A and B are shown apart, each in its own frame.
Chain A
Amino acid sequence: MELTPDSNTIFEVLGIAVNATIVNTWIIMAILVATSAIITRDLRPDVPPNRWRTTLEVIVNGIVGQIAEVSDRRDPRVLYFAGTLFLFIVTANLLTVLPGFHTPTASLSTTAALTLSVLIAVPMFGIGSRGLGGYLKSYLEPSFVMLPFNIISEFSRGISLAIRLYGNIMSGAVIAVILLGVAPFFFPILMDMLGLLTGVIQAYIFAILATVYISSATAVPESADTSANEKETS
C-alpha cells in the first residue's frame, strides 16, 4: 500500500521526476485561479452581481468574519495569506471524492511546504508590525530562561501543524482502502463522507492556527502588560 502520492511518478522532465503530488497541486492551483479569474472578469459597479460572484463574496466574507473573530488587528495581508491557505487545503481535501485523484495534502511534502510558509510568514508579520528588535525580544518573554523553550515551541508547532493535516487526510485514505477489502459495499462511502467533514475541519483548523500564530506574533506588548495588570488588580 502506498502512503503518499509522492511515489507515483507521472512523467519526467530533464531527469526530474514529476510525481502525482506536484501535478495535482498544479491542477488545484489552476482550478482556483481559473474560477476566480472567470468569476471576477467583469467586476464593475454597473454590472449586476450574478450567482457565482455572490457565492465568491459569501466565501470571502465568511473568511473575513472568522479572521476578525480570532485576531483583533484588521490587516488585509492576514486575509490574503490565511484565506489562500484555507481555499487551497479545502479544495484539495474536497477533491478526494474524485476517483483516481490523489489529493496532494495526503503527502507530507505538501503539508510540510504549507507549514514552512506559515513558519516564514509568522516572523515576517511579527517583524513588520513590531520591528526586528521588538520581535526578537518576544523570545525573551517572560524571562531570559524561556529562550530555548520559545524556540522549541516554534519548531514543535510547525511539526504538529504539518503532521496533523497529513495524518488526518492520509488516515482517511488508508482507512477507506482497508475497508474496501473488508466491507466493500456500503461502508467505505460513509467513511468517505466522514473524510469530507474531516477535510473541511482540518482546512479550517490549519488556517485558524496560522491566523492565531500570526496575530500572537504581531500582538502589541502593551496590551499584554495591561491584561497582566488587570489580573493583578482583580
Chain B
Amino acid sequence: MTDLGLIAAISIFTAGFTVAFGAIGPALGEGRAASSALNAIAQQPDAASTLSRTLFVSLAMIESTAIYCFVVAMILLFANPFWEAALEAAKQAAGG
C-alpha cells in the first residue's frame, strides 16, 4: 500500500473511532443529567424554569467534549496535515 493510501485509510478509521468513542461518554453523561433534571422537576414543578435553564447550559457543556472529538475527526478528514505533506512528497517524487 502506498503512503497516501495508508494515511487515508488510517485517517478515516481513526475519524470513525474518534466520533464513536467520543460520543459514548457525553451520551451517558447527558442521559444522567437529563434524568436528574426530570426527577427534580417532578419533585419541584415550581422550579422548572430555573432547572431547565441550568439543564440546557450543563447539557451544552457536557456536549462540548463530544464536539471536541467531532472537531478532531473533521480535521482528520478534511484538513489532515499529514495528507497534505504526503501529497506534496508524492508530487515531487512524480515530477523529479
Interface assignment of B28: CB less than 8 Å from any CB of chain A: no
Chain B residue contacts of A3, Cβ below 8 A:
74-75, 78-79
Q: How far is the CA of A198 from the CA of B74 in the complex (A)?
A: 19
Q: A1-B78, A3-B78, A3-B79 are in contact. Are A167 and B60 (CB under 8 A)?
A: no
Chain B residue contacts of A55, Cβ below 8 A:
none
Shortest B33–chain A CB gap in Å is: 14
A202 touches B60 (CB 8 A): yes
Q: How far is the CA of A202 from the CA of B78 in the complex (A)?
A: 24
**Which has the most chain A C-beta neighbours within 10 Å: B60, B67, B70?**
B67
Residues of B within 8 Å of A, CB-based: how many?
Answer: 14
Considering the complex, give the chain B residue whose CB is closest to the CB of A197: B56
Interface assignment of B13: CB less than 8 Å from any CB of chain A: no
Chain A residue contacts of B70, Cβ below 8 A:
167, 171
Chain A residue contacts of B61, Cβ below 8 A:
164, 205
Shortest B87–chain A CB gap in Å is: 17
Residues of A within 8 Å of B, CB-based: how many?
Answer: 17
Interface assignment of B17: CB less than 8 Å from any CB of chain A: no
Interface assignment of A217: CB less than 8 Å from any CB of chain B: no
Interface of B is mostly: helix
Chain A residue contacts of B36, Cβ below 8 A:
none
Shortest B29–chain A CB gap in Å is: 15
**Which has the most chain A C-beta neighbours within 10 Å: B57, B60, B61, B68?**
B60
A167 touches B68 (CB 8 A): yes
Q: How far is the CA of A205 from the CA of B54 in the complex (A)?
A: 10
Interface assignment of B71: CB less than 8 Å from any CB of chain A: yes
Shortest A128–chain B CB gap in Å is: 27
Interface assignment of B39: CB less than 8 Å from any CB of chain A: no
Interface assignment of A174: CB less than 8 Å from any CB of chain B: yes
A170 touches B74 (CB 8 A): yes
Interface assignment of A87: CB less than 8 Å from any CB of chain B: no
Residues of A within 8 A of B (CB): 1, 3, 160, 163-164, 166-168, 170-171, 174, 198, 201-202, 204-205, 208
Would you give 28 A-B contacts (Cβ < 8 Å), ordered by A? Answer: A3-B74, A3-B78, A160-B64, A163-B64, A163-B67, A164-B61, A164-B64, A164-B67, A167-B64, A167-B68, A167-B70, A167-B71, A168-B60, A168-B63, A168-B64, A168-B67, A170-B71, A170-B74, A171-B70, A171-B71, A171-B74, A174-B74, A201-B57, A201-B60, A205-B57, A205-B60, A205-B61, A208-B57
